[in-house]
Structure 1
């Protein structure tokens, strides 16, 4: 039977099979209202298809809702990184980069109003500005987090 097993494995490897992606973890806080509606509709379809199943799953919904409410009540600490970055953009080190980005953004806005489509974007200027702000804010952030 060794050759039969080999041929069976070879056949299984060569045939096209349906691929199923893993279901993503559900994070209720990060989903928007539309995504919540879509996921609830999908759950409704799944529950309506399995009509012969026992109805014991409905009791678990109340527990899930209570857990969600508890999670919503827990407040996360405020993120201070954006605040530190804004302060860093005002320093002498990063102010010229911010000024350069603002000028570029104004040019692009003017081109879009005038021609309907800008001939440039400000991605490079934005990255330079944010790199400077991040480099400035990182040591301050780590000092505060200690």
Structure 2
């Protein structure tokens, strides 16, 4: 059995005499860039005067087109003053005056979050059908 153990030990022992040559490869830090093949180089096509004129016309047309005005702020304002939302807007405004009137009073911890949510819910319900009807 000792000869078998010796044989196994010899298999896993690295001898100083044995050399292994590893081919050199570029490391991760070295940059390798292939040399461009002259036959693969592409020449930039020359634009004709017609193409340049077409491009200028397209740019002028784009400049002439104006962005459509956002309708949402006007609709929101109209909905805030509508019959359904006007009481909620009034209640929210009164709350804002109360909170801002107390200034930095430490004993006064009121905020108007609940009133704001009620108003915004009403405005959203009023605004949504009008806004989506105007979309193209």
TM-score, structure 1 normalization: 0.45
* Larger gyration radius, structure 1 or structure 2: 2
Q: Which has the higher helix share?
A: 1
